[in-house]
Structure 1
Amino acid sequence: MEEMTYKLCFYVPVSHVEQVKQAIFQAGAGHIGDYDCCAFQVLGHGQFRPLDGSQPFLGQQGEVEVVEEYRVETIVTAACLQAAISALRLAHPYEEPAIDLWKLEPLPA
């Protein structure tokens, strides 16, 4: 039986993309067959407005901030999932990083 696999997607400012990718790869994410450090990334613009009580890495409370960010997608097995997400959160500069997670179905033979 195949191990459960997930697609992990997150958004990270340009300044920290390599740091965060290396952290999740060291935690076991990004393995596909005989390859490691597998990921796809695309540059775009993210936006957010820090609210009262926040401690933003970028921007000021009450003001919308637009920043160049990468959307990074990779694969992670169930066995490495918690470690990869913990590593992502520790390496990411935002106090509330945007993270998406999808459970993947096995590909047909």
Structure 2
Amino acid sequence: MEAKNLSKRWILAFYTPRSSLEACKSAVFDAGAGCYSGRGNYTECCWATFGIGQYRPGNAADPHIGVAGRLEKVEEAKVEVLCIGEEVLNKAIQSLKEAHPYEEPAYYVIKLEEF
């Protein structure tokens, strides 16, 4: 059986304050994330859920929201977006870091397997 020649795919998941949601989504979409090729040629696809994130900035931190040393709770969105190809993934992460208001944006990457 001949192996399929498929592009590598990942899910980029990130958290952002609700006030920065649209800017962060636009940044990763502009980098090429959220596109599904095929008959429908869908773009700007993602999944977003909302919840409360919390963090305590260290003494040397310069937090966008909150004060160093004090526990902060923020209404945030978790966004999941498909990245097809390593170049798109890297560009999306870099664009997210540039658009995100936090000193250290929280994100993770999941590699997808074809079945």
TM-score normalized with structure 1 length: 0.95
1:4-38 Cα offsets, whole Å, 9 max, x none, are: 00000000001000000001000000011211100
1:29-86 Cα offsets, whole Å, 9 max, x none, are: 0011211100000110000000011110000111100000000000002221111100
User: Match of 1:94?
Assistant: 102
User: Match of 1:7?
Assistant: 11
- The number of residue pairs the alignment matches comes to 107
Where 1:43 maps in the other structure, the secondary structure is strand
**Higher radius of gyration, 1 or 2:** 2
Q: CA RMSD of the aligned region, Å?
A: 0.7
- Choose which of 20, 24, 27 in structure 2 pairs with 1:23: 27
**Distance in 2 of aligned mates of 1:8 and 1:32:** 14
The answer to whether 1:48 aligns with 2:55 is yes
**Distance in 1 of aligned mates of 2:67 and 2:77:** 21
Shift >3 Å, 4+ stretches: none
Q: Which runs of 5+ in 1 are unaligned?
A: none
**Distance in 2 of aligned mates of 1:53 and 1:98:** 18
Letter in 1 for 2:83: V
> What is the percent sequence identity of the aligned residues?
41
TM-score normalized with structure 2 length: 0.91
**Distance in 1 of aligned mates of 2:60 and 2:88:** 32
The answer to whether 1:32 aligns with 2:36 is yes
